[in-house]
Structure 1
Amino acid sequence: MHRVKVISGHLSSYPPQGGNRKCNINHCRARAAVSGPEDVVVVHGRRTAIGKAKRGLFKDTTPDELLSAVMKAVMTDMGLSPDRLGDVCVGNVLQPGAGAVMARIAHFLSEFPETVPVYTVNRQCSSGLQALFNIAGAIKSGSIDLGLACGVESMSLQEMGNPGDLSPRLVDFEKARACVVPMGITSENVAERFGISREKQDAFAVSSHQKADRAQRSGRFEAEIVPVVTRVTDAEGTESTVTVLKDEGVRPSTTLEGLGKLRAAFRADGSTTAGNSSQVSDGAAALLLGRRSAVEALGLPVLGVLRASAVVGVPPDMMGIGPAYAIPAALEQAGLIVADIDVFEINEAFASQAVYCVEKLGLPLDRVNPNGGAIALGHPLGCTGARMAVTLLHELQRMGRRGYGVVSMCIGTGMGAAAVFEYPGP
């Protein structure tokens, strides 16, 4: 409780004075971007289905195989030779060395030439989105014309919870100590500090499953999911070949009554449960980005335009509030307001933080995660930011008209990230 009171003091005047938060995002409009040949555009994006970690069909599939599946699919769909790529960036959290060796192996499993470079990035839950930011930055700077931004995670084959070698001096610094607070406790902090009730959290979780179920049954995910042929071993040790086509975490039977029976997972008197938290998962996603002039010269389509990106810092003990500050920063940069946005994809690390962000920003619930989020679909850490961008762009395309969307993530050590995309229309 003392820690929550301390953080409450930090947040009472958050963001800090001098921060770049000049306007209320519901009432102030800056200059909107104008299209031009230097725009960073998304050409195409695909993802794997999301598997249940330890129990699902990807439990025996290595991350390099998952990553290779989406890398190949994106390039094959566009009929583009991999040697056209200037760089490849892969978001990953749990693999040793942030998956640097794994990513290069996936590169060769995809039959990409050795002359095309690849590297990895770890910004925790936002790693896949950071990969997109990195490739976009290289395009914007003129370093490359085309690049592939990816995210991948196998939470079946790698364990969470080991922060590595840390200085014993971290105990002397309050914010440093807060960086190693368990994520579930940060959820409890948000719920307590901002009065997010168990009922609100459970209702949000039920809605996530209902939305994901509708999307799955109506075939909305089919265009974005790459079929993956892999092998899985059952409890008796029998190995079989399967084709994975469908997200495994969606539970259509989820009810408020059922969630209400679950015990708190992180604190005896808490409100965060296994039912209103994201699922641990396996999956991969990839997006092809380019400079508009180069993309048009190659005759490639434009699925979306990256209009803005932002990463902000927030108190580590309240890491889930990150989107509530990153989204305004990105919207201000794009010259847009909440009312302009057709779809918000906000990571559902925990229902407490998702509900807080929705309420803080006054977001219309029907525009938030219209096809469900991580509570229903799952949250393969390094993949999720890229997965959400793929899902968002496909959803905007499905609307069939010009529109705008936002992807936003909370980040474990106390940050938030957001990107604004424009779909130019059919």
Structure 2
Amino acid sequence: MNITAKGEHIRRVFVIDALRTPIALRRGGLSRVRPEFFGAAVVRELLRRTGVAGGDLDAVFAGNAVGTGGNIARLMSLSAGVPQAVPAVTIDMQCASAAASISLAFAKIAAGQADAIIAGGMESVSLQPVRVYAEGDERREQLAATGGRYYTAQFSPDDLREDAMLRGAERVMERESVTRAELDRWVLESHRRAAQAERDGVFRPWMLPLHGATFDNTDDDLARALRLADCMRDEGIKPRMSQKLLDRMPLLFGEGSLLTAANACRTNDGAGFLLLTSEAFAKAHGLVPHMEVLATAATGVVPSESPRGAQATAEQLLAREHLAWTDLAAIEFNEAFAVIDVLLERTHPEIISRYNQHGGALAYGHPYGASGAILAIQLLAALQKQGDLGLISIAGAGGLGEAILFRRR
């Protein structure tokens, strides 16, 4: 068996198209729809508008972080009408799950093991189940007050608290001497940019509104499930976000802390997927790509300071590809916390005009398993205005990061 040496015969990988749902609030317009169903709606529409048959896919990769477990990607794929012969894989890298799905699809296609993969993710925090540690698991005793029940998985060996991510952000703010003014400025800017993007219809080409009549002409399980949806636009953007409102925000950890419900993003419902193919597949099917995937990177940071993962991974990817930040026309980080923005601005102020140009998760929200694909769509929109190279990066719970480098076609 011949193993291809690194760098030899690596095939080009293209993003043919991308699509997402609107990002819904918890208990908002998607709260009565299971994530495999609104994810399936995106996959079905992505196939329809590209003209690619489901049977031509080699796989479906879907990120999911807080769902019911099992292989929810398989449920979604079958619900979308993808033939049963096409395998589906669920990927859990928490916040970075969709980005990890895209990276895996890139690697499979680049290595010649696949030609066409749908990759991305879906999440419903509205339907997030309560879990219970089993008898005999010492964590059940540690959570005796709740009977061993929990919503959020353990991300670090030495911290079982469900607010570990929030405390990690607070810890980074304290260690970097971040100020409330720095955080507030980014919250206001994120909502301002997002509101402008919504007024301009920036994401309309890549958004699938979902409401009761979306599939009125179809009578199957998916169509019936989607009749419970009523989500026509991104629900979290606050065009009237103001300093006065921010000043009234309570501090989540009491006097002396900095974290508020405004400078930490909301958790949301939503789905986003990309169709990635080889160059040969695109040519054979007459497909015109939007972007090319050039490289990916993943890394780990201190688990108790997970917000550092986005910049650390982006730095690693740029160094590996011998690129500078100024070589990038667009940069998209997941704004899980405003401290992520503050640290990037402090270290690379020269690129801030190219960063999160249409706002970020502080405004839109964060449907964990889908956010990496949503970032790719935001990057696509930014690159269509100007520029060639772009990068997305996202920090994940437990001190992880995933970054992807794209080129506009």
Partner residue in 2 for 1:354: 341
Asked if the contact 1:313–1:414 (Cα under 8 Å) also holds between the matched residues in 2, the reply is yes
Alignment partner of 1:91 is 2:63: yes
Looking at structure 2, the residues matched to 161 and 358 of structure 1 have their Cα atoms a distance apart, in angstroms, of: 39
Deviation at 1:223, TM superposition (A): 0.7
Asked if the contact 2:156–2:398 (Cα under 8 Å) also holds between the matched residues in 1, the reply is no
Looking at structure 2, the residues matched to 175 and 360 of structure 1 have their Cα atoms a distance apart, in angstroms, of: 27
| Secondary structure in 1 matching 2:244 | helix
Looking at structure 2, the residues matched to 209 and 163 of structure 1 have their Cα atoms a distance apart, in angstroms, of: 39
Partner residue in 1 for 2:11: 38
Alignment partner of 1:407 is 2:388: no
Partner residue in 2 for 1:329: 316
1:50-100 CA-to-partner distances (Å, cap 9, x unmatched) read 00012x111111101110111011111111101110011000001132x51
Partner residue in 2 for 1:279: 266
Give the alignment partner of residue 74 of structure 2, picking from 96, 104, 122: 104
Alignment partner of 1:78 is 2:60: no
Partner residue in 2 for 1:52: 25
Asked if the contact 1:213–1:252 (Cα under 8 Å) also holds between the matched residues in 2, the reply is yes
Looking at structure 2, the residues matched to 187 and 163 of structure 1 have their Cα atoms a distance apart, in angstroms, of: 26
Moved more, 378-387 or 361-370: 361-370
1:271-299 CA-to-partner distances (Å, cap 9, x unmatched) read 11001111111000010001122212221
Looking at structure 1, the residues matched to 10 and 310 of structure 2 have their Cα atoms a distance apart, in angstroms, of: 30
| Secondary structure in 1 matching 2:206 | coil
Alignment partner of 1:177 is 2:158: yes
Looking at structure 1, the residues matched to 345 and 362 of structure 2 have their Cα atoms a distance apart, in angstroms, of: 15
| Secondary structure in 1 matching 2:288 | coil
Asked if the contact 2:30–2:230 (Cα under 8 Å) also holds between the matched residues in 1, the reply is no
1:191-249 CA-to-partner distances (Å, cap 9, x unmatched) read 10001111111110010000000000011011110121249xxxxxxx98665221000
Residues 160 and 194 of structure 1, relative CA distance in 2, 3 Å threshold: farther
Partner residue in 2 for 1:215: 197
Residues 192 and 38 of structure 1, relative CA distance in 2, 3 Å threshold: same
Q: After the TM superposition, which segments of 4 or more aligned residues of structure 1 sit over 6 Å from their partners?
A: 160-168
Looking at structure 1, the residues matched to 84 and 328 of structure 2 have their Cα atoms a distance apart, in angstroms, of: 41
Partner residue in 2 for 1:114: 84
Is there any run of 5+ residues in structure 1 with no aligned partner, and where? 1-32, 232-238
Looking at structure 2, the residues matched to 94 and 323 of structure 1 have their Cα atoms a distance apart, in angstroms, of: 21
Deviation at 1:302, TM superposition (A): 1.3
Deviation at 1:419, TM superposition (A): 0.9
Partner residue in 1 for 2:291: 304
Q: Amino acid of the residue matched to residue 89 of structure 1?
A: F
Alignment partner of 1:394 is 2:381: yes
Looking at structure 2, the residues matched to 185 and 360 of structure 1 have their Cα atoms a distance apart, in angstroms, of: 23
Deviation at 1:352, TM superposition (A): 1.5
Alignment partner of 1:364 is 2:351: yes
Residues 137 and 57 of structure 1, relative CA distance in 2, 3 Å threshold: same
Residues 3-22 of structure 1 aligned to structure 2 (within 5 Å): none
Residues 83-232 of structure 1 aligned to structure 2 (within 5 Å): 83-97=55-69, 100=71, 102-158=72-128, 176-178=157-159, 182-230=164-212
Two-structure CA RMSD over aligned residues (Å): 2.5
Looking at structure 2, the residues matched to 310 and 160 of structure 1 have their Cα atoms a distance apart, in angstroms, of: 33
Looking at structure 2, the residues matched to 137 and 37 of structure 1 have their Cα atoms a distance apart, in angstroms, of: 9
Q: Amino acid of the residue matched to residue 392 of structure 1?
A: L
Residues 160 and 265 of structure 1, relative CA distance in 2, 3 Å threshold: farther
Residues 93 and 37 of structure 1, relative CA distance in 2, 3 Å threshold: closer
Looking at structure 2, the residues matched to 397 and 318 of structure 1 have their Cα atoms a distance apart, in angstroms, of: 34
Looking at structure 2, the residues matched to 114 and 240 of structure 1 have their Cα atoms a distance apart, in angstroms, of: 25
Deviation at 1:323, TM superposition (A): 1.6
Looking at structure 1, the residues matched to 305 and 131 of structure 2 have their Cα atoms a distance apart, in angstroms, of: 18
Asked if the contact 1:94–1:153 (Cα under 8 Å) also holds between the matched residues in 2, the reply is yes
